[in-house]
Structure 1
């Protein structure tokens, strides 16, 4: 398979610390690929090696099927959008967006045409004469994106570009960014530690942990069928059934995962046919608007989380300590 970006046995060491440890994976042409993981997991180091800001200690990095290991950043067909946007405060929006083309000494008429096209694409056609200080955070993010895309890179690298935005604006920009990526058809490589952000935007996600990739898959694959317990716990909230509970339910030794939204609290007259059931005691209720998080504990002391949709404003709450029957479909369980 042909990849826009490929890592072949890449290791990056800082003294005796392995920031990246023997990674091999590829990013397909035209996909929105996210690198997701906690701080220090190696995702940003990988992004910097793609950009050319750092070289591997071992192994090779390929761009568009060419080995670019050791090639300086300015000779690579990539552009980067950073979290702080890095816009020039003394230049207006048009000058910021067209700066790269001016450095390449393109004709003024072509620069003006392409700047107008980019500002139309990011839905800021009338902002050209304004300074960055006169823009909102979301608008500055769009201008930084336009400045990167105007150079028509083969790969666009995004280093947590939405991290500085408030929640509402960040959610709006997630939709906007994905829409722009589909329009331009360029490979996007997106670094984030936000699980919901990666799930909502990506074609595929690489889950990083301690310099290695635990799993690469579509959002539904890494959420519904995590390959390791780390992935299950890092991507969303999971209930891991171990030991006594799991053996009593399925008679198997493997650990199993069940997501909180798959579990139901049964009424006394509910049918149990075809369901896996487990007795547990109610411990706490956390209200979150559209949903509530119900916390339970089994007789052996294992904690379980259940998501409950708040459909009634005066819904009766469970009394603390009450024993209930939790139930779910066996097909909703995932074995490790």
Structure 2
């Protein structure tokens, strides 16, 4: 028996005149998953989200919700809700009125509305703001209220269109943890659209990486980062050292390109080729620049043949080794640190 997904794309294509925004995409999203669609601007991820919501039609192919073809069905007849980046809260209404608006439209009794609004505000950790206006709240609080308003209707699927994009870095990191915790608490399928790979890696059960209208890879965060299938995924999800086809052939005898993550690159300060490098493939390199990032630094090296290698190193180690820009050192990695794309 075929698996029934909460959301499924079957050979979906979406064209805008001659531009193909989504190109023959097929995949399924499991019930209760936190599923992220990740990619650069124009990659097709938001168009896919809008087709699930019913805001956009397919040019060909089908979109299914819980096994039912909803292609052509209007948004208000789909069991989904959407949280947008700008939150779209009604400024003239109180927070409680905003959260309960969907239930009021359904003509539920006031007592039921008040009860469920109170439950939702408690769930998003804002039980005491019901009488305030949205303008009296911080950006993070407004984001939570938008989430409560979307969840109060108990949708089968919640769609989140870059909802953290307007927040500053620290608040965004806090809200990532909150979103994941709330999703686990309610058990609803979340589909999260973002261009921020750290957001996707930190929250998702699985991630679909989009590029030019196609899905390059769908995998768990760990698999996506450690075993990317393509050079695009390796470079978009994190930073990578990509060895040329010729160098890969020389090192492994196999066709393709090798990837080594910067944190897997070891730097041997003042090392010689005959010591301190047992078990490593080592290369002479000159430190060209160093980017400080608090706990770590990214060190950019150049080898004699012109190749560039990036190493991510703990600053405590850098301080101890006293590596200066312009120094010649050895850099290297173990065979187990290489991944063939």
Partner of 2:278: 273
For 2:93 and 2:296, locate their aligned partners in 1 and report how far apart those are by CA, in whole Å. Answer: 46
For 1:60 and 1:92, locate their aligned partners in 2 and report how far apart those are by CA, in whole Å. Answer: 39
Is 1:187–2:192 an aligned residue pair? no
Partner of 1:319: 324
SS of residue paired to 1:161: coil
SS of residue paired to 1:331: helix
Partner of 2:337: 332
> Which of 161, 171, 183 pairs up with 1:169?
171
> Which of 77, 80, 87 pairs up with 1:78?
80
For 1:118 and 1:158, locate their aligned partners in 2 and report how far apart those are by CA, in whole Å. Answer: 17
For 2:54 and 2:319, locate their aligned partners in 1 and report how far apart those are by CA, in whole Å. Answer: 57
**Bigger mean CA deviation after superposition, 230-239 or 276-285:** 276-285
SS of residue paired to 1:311: helix
Identify if the C-alpha distance between structure 1 residues 274 and 313 changes in structure 2 by more than 3 Å, giving closer, same or farther.
closer
For 2:9 and 2:160, locate their aligned partners in 1 and report how far apart those are by CA, in whole Å. Answer: 18
For 2:91 and 2:235, locate their aligned partners in 1 and report how far apart those are by CA, in whole Å. Answer: 42
Moved over 4 A (4+): 312-316
For 1:237 and 1:314, locate their aligned partners in 2 and report how far apart those are by CA, in whole Å. Answer: 23
State whether residues 294 and 306 of structure 1, in contact with CA within 8 Å, keep that contact through their aligned partners in structure 2.
yes
Partner of 2:313: 308
CA root-mean-square deviation: 1.4
Normalising by the residue count of structure 2, what TM-score does the alignment of the two structures yield?
0.96
Q: For residue 273 of structure 1, report the CA deviation from its aligned partner.
A: 2.5
For 1:195 and 1:42, locate their aligned partners in 2 and report how far apart those are by CA, in whole Å. Answer: 16
What residue ranges of structure 2 are gaps of 5+ in the alignment? none
State whether residues 4 and 187 of structure 1, in contact with CA within 8 Å, keep that contact through their aligned partners in structure 2.
yes
For 1:158-307, what aligned pairs fall within 5 Å after superposition? 158-267=160-269, 268=271, 271-307=276-312
Deviations 1:249-291 (A, max 9, x none): 3344421000000111124275322222222221111111111
For 2:256 and 2:161, locate their aligned partners in 1 and report how far apart those are by CA, in whole Å. Answer: 37
**Bigger mean CA deviation after superposition, 323-332 or 271-280:** 271-280
**Bigger mean CA deviation after superposition, 252-261 or 224-233:** 252-261
SS of residue paired to 1:60: strand
For 1:325 and 1:312, locate their aligned partners in 2 and report how far apart those are by CA, in whole Å. Answer: 15
State whether residues 249 and 276 of structure 1, in contact with CA within 8 Å, keep that contact through their aligned partners in structure 2.
no
SS of residue paired to 2:47: helix
For 1:79 and 1:133, locate their aligned partners in 2 and report how far apart those are by CA, in whole Å. Answer: 23
Partner of 2:18: 16
For 2:113 and 2:324, locate their aligned partners in 1 and report how far apart those are by CA, in whole Å. Answer: 67
How many residues matched? 336
Is 1:92–2:94 an aligned residue pair? yes
> Which of 107, 117, 138 pairs up with 1:136?
138
Q: For residue 199 of structure 1, report the CA deviation from its aligned partner.
A: 0.3
SS of residue paired to 2:316: coil
For 1:254 and 1:330, locate their aligned partners in 2 and report how far apart those are by CA, in whole Å. Answer: 16
Deviations 1:179-216 (A, max 9, x none): 00000000000000000000000000000000000000
**Bigger mean CA deviation after superposition, 244-253 or 201-210:** 244-253
**Bigger mean CA deviation after superposition, 246-255 or 56-65:** 246-255
**Bigger mean CA deviation after superposition, 232-241 or 248-257:** 248-257
SS of residue paired to 2:132: coil
